[in-house]
Amino acid sequence: MPETTHEILTVSYLRWIVFLPLIGAIINGLGGALIQKAAGKRAISVIACTPVLLAFALAVRGLFQLIGLGEEERLLLDRLFTWLSVGNLHVDVAFQLDPLSAVMILVVTGVGGLIHIYSTAYMHEEPAYWRYFAYLNLFTFAMLTLVLADNLLLMFVGWEGVGLCSYALIGFWYSDLNNATAGSKAFIVNRIGDFGFMLGTFLLFWALAGIGHPTLVFREIVAYAVQLEGHTVAGWATLSVVTLLMFVGATGKSAQIPLHVWLPDAMAGPTPVSALIHAATMVTAGVYMIARLNVLYTLSPDTQMVVLVIGTLTAFLAATIGTAQNDIKKVLAYSTVSQLGFMFIAMGVGAYAAGVFHLMTHAFFKACLFLGSGSVIHAMHHEQDMRKMGGLKRWMPVTYWTFLISTLAISGIPPLSGFISKDSILWEAFANHHHILWLLGLSGALMTAFYMFRLVFMTFHGECRADHHTQERLHESPPAMTLPLVILAALAAVAGLLNWPLALEPLLPFLGVARFEEWLRPVVGKDISVIHGAVPHAGHHLDPIEYATMALSIAIAVTGILLARAMYQRKTLSPDRIADLAGGSLYRTVLNKYYVDELYQAVFVNGLLALTRIAAWFDTYVIDFIVNGAATVTRWVSWLDGQFDAYVVDGAVNGVGWLSAFCGGRVRRLQMGSINGYLYVIVIAAVGVMVAQLWWGTAPS
């Protein structure tokens, strides 16, 4: 065990943060149909929402307990029982709460609880209401297991659990082929990433066991990781291989290139599911995993560069796709992929706290945007094409204003939270001299502002393009849907104050600066010099260039907004003319998502199908031919053997018997008492003797 300077504080309530949603899932999953029939959907709502809200209350309790401890003592442990004890491997079912997991459970239970409340109105007409909430509770349980686990194996249980639940929720309306296909696609693509994560876990345990510390407990991995420097496997640095394999898992869960293709299709599920999966839970798992194992990544600069490049390309390319989508949820889906790319940029430059902060702020404004789109879809009678909307702010003022606040936040308009979190990531990329990647990230930020305000102008401004029947029935959503929107919009507006940058301290000196980074410092704040036992590097210094990059970031966001306004509100620029550039090929390429799905279909899906057809042909015409041929040969040999036995062996045996009987019958006649017979024998014998004597007597000597 690693040496610690303080005793770990043990508690017994962390398990209930995890198990309360599981209890709700079990009750609704096993008895929900009967409860819904007997007591109505309100009872299902209470059973589903209450555990999540109680878990949120316990999460708040845990937060305040951590605040009351010293910075280096902020760790609570709830150990239930020994799970595995095989050889050198000892794993407990145990949950840990530290500053990082505290942020995550507050997001999961807080935002998740609001989504549960929202769902009570959005899914009210659903016949399988109980099944939906059973899945939603089970998903929450899996995500909480993932973020509270104190070891990699228990994290993997939650990791696989959210993948399974996402399959069930995305394909909730399984009778529709598109929904069922989207759920299967999400499940299969994530299995590819999960295989890498699993291999990384095995390799890490093997490497730690090789240096005498067989463990998968996070705090022990952090303590011993530095001893793996110089350790190699097949000529490669072990830490690089481990972190790259685990990053493969992160690309699946967090929808990074090349495993990003499942997330946009996942929009087929109910809109609250989109908000839960793509804002607050599953897609953040990869970011959380890297933040949790930040020491391993800090010790693997090659892997960090891979993470940085993949994150930057994802942020840029997904943003370009978002500019051409017409489905309101698809725009938000590609926005999610792009924003996750920004989080991985932060992970790649070692700004782990900045990445986690953007994870939190993104959860607020993206959940609000998804739920706002659900409010629009609900009012438009399930219409999702923005080209058939317009002017909706007149009928839906609460949805409009909350949507607008969150759009300003994600676009990077100060002082809203998205500006603080995104600008800190871009600054870290610039300050670490990744200028080309910084420019790509800045371009992604420009397109974010453009496509988000394109969505706002097409949906809420101008003339309503819906049909007359739909316009007559337009209305604001009920309070159960608008209240979560208001709360999330408020959080999106003010959450940036938690990590107010040093450069802006003169504007609000009473706030203090970088409080969120200070909060996470015990978990993700140690740089490589601290890991090696040296003195820590100096803190953040104010750089005049930071003001310039910040001003440029604001200018970029404003430019994107004005460009969208000119094209979709003022109509002074024609979107069609821009789409026709280069003969329309660029627009078609972006609209069709760079044909990545088609490429995967042609290479992997069709390739696999072709391989299975070849295998089927080989089985039919080679394997079956050999098997059937062997059977035919065996059958013919058996027939010939039967014929040989019947006509040769049996014939010989029967022939000998017949001959014996024949000879016996003839000899028998000599013993029948006939004088004539005896005389004939005597005569024949005498003649025979005489002939013999005559022959032998005249023969030459």
Structure confidence by residue, pLDDT tens digits, 274-309: 999 888 789 999 999 999 999 999 999 999 999 999
Residues 586 and 604 in one domain: no
pLDDT for 672: 66
495 in the same domain as 611: no
Mean pLDDT of the chain: 90
Which of the given ranges, 150-159, 176-185, 596-605, has the highest pLDDT on average? 150-159
pTM of the model: 0.88
The arithmetic mean of pLDDT across residues 497-505, rounded, is 87
- pLDDT above 80 (res 407): yes
Same domain, 507 and 655: no
pLDDT (0 to 100) of residue 537: 39
Asked whether residue 442 falls in the same domain as residue 535, the answer is yes
Mean pLDDT value of segment 563-586: 89
Are 339 and 458 in the same domain?
yes
* Inside any domain, residue 650: yes
Phi and psi based region of residue 78 (left: phi greater than 0; alpha: psi -120 to 50; beta: remaining): beta
Residues 463 and 401 in one domain: yes
Decide if 672 is inside a domain.
no
Q: What is the pLDDT of residue 5?
A: 52
Does 119 score more than 90 pLDDT?
Answer: yes
Mean pLDDT to the nearest integer, 215-241: 92
Judged by average pLDDT, the poorest of 460-469, 503-512, 643-652 is 503-512
State yes or no: pLDDT of 534 exceeds 50.
no
Q: What are phi and psi of 392, to 5 degrees?
A: -75, -15
Cα 23 to Cα 27, 102, 310, distances in angstroms? 6, 22, 39
Q: How confident is the model at residue 535 (pLDDT cuts 50, 70, 90)?
A: very low
Q: What is the DSSP letter of 542?
A: -
Largest CA distance in the chain: 155
Residue 367 lies in a domain: yes
Shared domain for 517 and 621, answered yes or no, is: no
pLDDT of residue 675: 73
Of 564, 591, 618, the one marking the end of a domain is 591
In this structure, the answer to whether residues 604 and 486 fall within a common structural domain is no
Q: Is the pLDDT of residue 522 over 70?
A: yes
Considering only CA atoms, which of 309, 420, 324 is closest in space to residue 364? 420
Confidence of residue 697 (pLDDT cuts 50, 70, 90): low
User: In the predicted model, is pLDDT for residue 2 greater than 70?
Assistant: no
Indicate if 305 and 411 belong to the same structural domain. Answer: yes
Distance CA 556, CA 405 (A): 18
Domain-located, residue 73: no
Over 50: is that where the pLDDT of 528 sits? no
Q: Would you say residue 543 has pLDDT above 90?
A: no
pLDDT at 450: 96
Counted domains in the chain: 2
pLDDT at residue 4, as a whole number: 52
In a domain, 23, yes or no: no
CB 307 within 8 A of CB 438: no
Is 19 among the domain residues?
Answer: no
Choice among 76-80, 300-304, 635-639, 697-701 with the minimum mean pLDDT = 697-701
- How many percent of the chain have pLDDT more than 70? 95
Tell me if residue 82 falls in helix, strand or coil: strand
Q: With bands split at pLDDT 50, 70 and 90, how would you rate the model's confidence at 3? A: very low
Q: Is residue 573 part of a domain?
A: yes
**H or E stretch at 692:** helix 675-698
477 and 399 together in one domain: yes
The fraction of the chain above a pLDDT of 90, given in percent, is: 70
Q: Indicate if 576 and 655 belong to the same structural domain.
A: no
Q: What angle do CA 659, 664, 669 make, to 5 degrees?
A: 135
Same-domain status, 309 and 367: yes
Question: Residue 660 sits in which domain range?
Answer: 600-666
691 pLDDT tier (thresholds 50, 70, 90): confident
> Is the model's pLDDT at 533 over the cut of 50?
no
Of 38-47, 462-471, 662-671, the range with the lowest mean pLDDT is: 662-671
**Amino acid 239: pLDDT:** 95
Which two tokens mark 85?
Answer: 């004890």
* pLDDT recorded at residue 700: 52
